[in-house]
Structure 1
Amino acid sequence: MRADVAAFVATGPLPDWDADEVQISHRQAQLEAMTGPVTGEEATALAQCFGPDDCYGLAWTLLHPIETGPNPVVTTKPGPDANEWHHTLWMRAANGGLITGAEA
């Protein structure tokens, strides 16, 4: 795993809307430091970093590198208690035809 991705993953899930400006800026800088498409391993690790909300839009920024990976990270429809971002990843992959037999 590349150092920039490993550093982001090691920091843990994105904070929620109650996070202070320093936390938000740090996570944004980490996301901006990531370059190029991610590997399947990196995409899977990054998918575990979604927090409880959209973290002032950073969750959408996190979604994009995950989708540069070679395969969809979420290949089965998440259960009702799954993180909303896992539902989003699954729906986008299903709608894009990346998951066969899936209904969005």
Structure 2
Amino acid sequence: MRPEVQTFVAVGPLPDWDADEEEIDRRANQLEAISAPVTADEAHALTACFGPDDCYGLAWSLLHLIETSPEPVPPVTPPDADATDWQHTLRNRWGNR
């Protein structure tokens, strides 16, 4: 896994809309540092980085980055009850690939 992906994943899920501007900018810069396409392993790791909302559009950017993986890597089973809406959206989009 590339270092920029490891860095992004290590920080954890995207913040919500209540985060300060500095935090959102930092996460945006980290996300922009990851060049596409991502590997299947990177895509799988990135799926854990969705936060509770769209984080001013960063969740969409993350979703599109994950979709650059040459192989869809949806979970074998449907997301569990505590999965975010973004994880459900990603699974639904992969199912339509």
**DSSP-derived class of the 1:4 partner:** helix
RMSD (Å), alpha carbons: 1.3
2:10 is matched with which residue? Answer: 10
1:101 is matched with which residue? Answer: none
TM-score, normalised on structure 2?
A: 0.90
- C-alpha deviation, 1:35, in angstroms: 0.9
- Say if 1:43 and 1:73, in contact at 8 Å, map to a contact too: yes
Separation of aligned partners in 1, 2:88 and 2:16? 18
Find runs of 4+ consecutive structure 1 residues off by over 3 angstroms.
none
Are 1:62 and 2:62 counterparts? yes
Separation of aligned partners in 1, 2:32 and 2:90? 20
Separation of aligned partners in 2, 1:81 and 1:7? 24
**DSSP-derived class of the 1:77 partner:** coil
- C-alpha deviation, 1:68, in angstroms: 1.0
**Identity percentage of aligned residues:** 62
Structure 2 counterpart of 1:50, one-letter code: F
Structure 1 counterpart of 2:79, one-letter code: P
1:17-36 aligned within 5 A: 17-36=17-36
Separation of aligned partners in 2, 1:25 and 1:73? 28
Separation of aligned partners in 1, 2:56 and 2:36? 23
TM-score, normalised on structure 1?
A: 0.84
Cα distance change of structure 1 residues 79 and 11 upon mapping to structure 2, 3 Å threshold: closer
Between 78-87 and 38-47, report the one with greater CA deviation: 78-87
Separation of aligned partners in 2, 1:27 and 1:79? 26
CA deviations over 1:14-45 (Å, ceiling 9, x no partner)? 00111000000000001111112111111011
2:39 is matched with which residue? Answer: 39
1:89 is matched with which residue? Answer: 90
Runs of at least 5 residues in structure 2 that lack an aligned partner in the other structure = none
